[in-house]
Structure 1
Amino acid sequence: MGMGKVIEGLVEEAERQIRDQVWELSPADRSVAAKAAADLDAAVGTPQSRQGLPEVERLEHLREALAAVAIALAHVHGPLAWFLGAAATALTPILHWRALPAGEGPTFGAVQPTLHEYTEAEDAIRRLRRTLAAARVG
């Protein structure tokens, strides 16, 4: 299952729990969610803003987004931490991607993603961002 589908499943579950009042975000959770949403937006922006960027820059921005999720995770406990932890796990393939040619040296298992994989990762992060942004207002 691709990371986009995993993130979509997590988002649907989170939205259902919030809607059913199983998960009530605290003011502190809402603040962390808002900061994470802003950081994710800064990292991946819009699809149009990514067009034409070199793969090295796209990968850099994806790693920044993953770091933003990890930083948010470090500041919360309970359901928001579990949600962010699962999201970070879904995004871990980004950690194994490389944008540079392997050359003669070892790559430590890093692989070059396809353009489709870059787009899927960016879209998954945008979906996560929208959910976190909505959590701060709800």
Structure 2
Amino acid sequence: MVRVRFAPSPTGFLHIGGLRTALYNYLFARHNGGKFLIRIEDTDRTRMVSGAIEKIFEILKWCGLDYDEKPVIQSERLEIYKKYVNELLEKGLAYRCFCTSERLEEMRKLQIAKKQPPKYDGLCLKLSKDDYEKLSKEKLFT
């Protein structure tokens, strides 16, 4: 079964491009006998605009874009995500990155200047187990 979702971020009010995406997903789901779902990407708390979530639902309703299941609110699912992140870390299928945003931005700029595609150099993947454990206790990571 086809399942499509519209996942707006409430960092501003819904604009015509976002509404177009919602409409395309809605029509695709209906045409294929599928489900149209909503997921609110509200994890960027610093840029969140008060009232934006309510306005998103108001506009979708006004346009007749009815969703088929209860909307998912990302911030309400953080514990679920943490559980699976920890599982991936324990299995060695993921790793913590301790690089600062400044380091990553500088690396990106250098790669672009050299006409290379920007990509992570894997620095934190190459850490020794001792360094990794020490940094895990001391620094923020992604």
TM-score, normalised on structure 2? 0.22
Tell me: higher relative CO, structure 1 or 2? Use CA pairs within 8 A at least 6 residues apart: 1
Structure showing greater radius of gyration is 2
More strand by share: 2
Give the alignment's TM-score, normalised by structure 1.
Answer: 0.22
Q: Considering fraction of residues, name the structure with more helix.
A: 1
